[in-house]
Structure 1
Amino acid sequence: MAIISDYEEDQTDKKPQPPPSSSSSHTPPKTSTFTAAFDPQNPIKIVEGVLDFLGKESDFLEKERAEKEIFAVRGCLCCDRNVFGVLDSIGIPNKGNGLDLEKYSWTQTLQEVNVQIPVPSGTKSRFVVCDIKKNHLKVGIKGQPPIIEGEPYKPIKVDDCYWSIEDQNTISILLTKHDQMDWWKSLVKGDPEIDTQKVEPENSKLSELDSETRQTVEKMMFDQRQKSMGLPTSDEMQKQEILKKFMSEHPEMDFSRAKIA
């Protein structure tokens, strides 16, 4: 697993300019430098810092134009986290419909969440702290700060959960969802989230589900595709059909202002 380290913009090659001589009538232009640290847990922060810097220091843009451009980019950041190529993977689920983070990775099905946590080689189960509760999860190594701690995205069925050590270098945890009809956006609240509209259930596993669950999953997949194309969901289509039928049965009524809620 790749670990992104914090970094700072290198300013060592920029030498301070000597002050102008008293005999010189030319005042050199004011120069400003930008320094920022990259936080892998909050990568959007460095982009916002750049925008703030440009808004305050850019002399090459008119103030009004600069403010409009910065406002527009910030709007994009709220809607699409894939701006400037900085956040290419944020929000996009991994192959297991979860997310690969610096300290752990997780995947999910509608019924379960699987967590993989790398630990030092040779780690044994007696060194592990794994506290699983309905609304709280804490995992780590004894005597060290927790690797994961917080409220799960949704409640857990504690009696149907378990954990183990794999190859003495990975803590593997299986969490059973209490509500088995929802996709989780994150493992614990406050961690980076995925876009659940981009979740792709494995078709091969649909046949293993009971008919009711399978219908629910297929409906969710259909609605996700419809939303991504800006088209009505199955529920919205059903409402439209009901309204059309009612309109045909009552031609004497005016439906010109009718709206589908």
Structure 2
Amino acid sequence: MAERLAPEKRHSFMHDGKKVFEWDQTLEEVNLYIPLPPGNVPTKLFYCKIQPQHIVVGIRGSDRTFLDHPLAASVKTDSSFWTLEDGTMHVLLQKRDKGQTWSSPFEGQGLLDPYAADLEQKRLMLQRFQEENPGFDFSQAQFTGSCPDPRTFMGGIR
């Protein structure tokens, strides 16, 4: 069941025909996948600074940053982290408000279209119902109309 409620695919943000990052989310976290630039930069020089409402990704000793943006919502910095693997920086951002649906990781950048945002919210709501009611199968559940905000529906969760 959990596999069916996991993100089906990553959302991509493109700029000038190049992939800047991909992302997905669960009830508790937002995952960023940032392709590292090609070249001879040792991986130990890359850095990521995660603040409660801002993120910076760049190369140490250089004025070159790849991302320097406010986040769409607040994160828990003590539970957020980043790793490098196979030419990609994976940043796990722990949501401050569990269950909140993000339309994009960054404020004003790469927003999902309304249809995709609604699908994402419905998927997270199903994930929440499954988490709160283990043993019940919600895989065939469907929402009609707009999906309630999981933070306020039935008292919200944190």
Normalised TM-score (structure 2): 0.66
Partner of 1:197 in structure 2? 118
Partner of 1:109 in structure 2? 26
Q: What letter matches 1:99 in structure 2?
A: H
- Provide the secondary structure at the position in 1 that maps to 2:27: coil
Percent sequence identity over matched residues? 24
Deviating 4+ runs (over 3 angstroms)? 121-125, 202-208
| Residues 124 and 165 in structure 1, CA contact (< 8 A), matched pair in contact too | no
Count residues in correspondence: 128
Q: More strand per residue: 1 or 2? A: 2
2:80, 2:111 → 1: CA distance?
A: 22
Once the two structures are superposed, what CA deviation does each residue of 1:214-239 show, in whole Å capped at 9, x if it has no partner?
xxxx7xx85xx3226xxxx78xxxxx
Once the two structures are superposed, what CA deviation does each residue of 1:11-43 show, in whole Å capped at 9, x if it has no partner?
xxxxxxxxxxxxxxxxxxxxxxxxxxxxxxxxx
Distance 1:151 1:100, change over 3 A: same
Query: Which residues of structure 1 form unaligned runs of 5+?
Result: 1-93, 213-217, 235-261
Partner of 1:226 in structure 2? 144
Larger radius of gyration: 1
2:97, 2:126 → 1: CA distance?
A: 22
Normalised TM-score (structure 1): 0.42
RMSD between aligned alpha carbons?
Answer: 3.4
Shift of 1:147: 1.7
Please point out which of 96, 101, 104 is paired with 1:178: 96
Distance 1:123 1:174, change over 3 A: farther
Query: Which residues of structure 2 form unaligned runs of 5+?
Result: 1-6, 14-18, 149-158
| Residues 162 and 173 in structure 1, CA contact (< 8 A), matched pair in contact too | yes
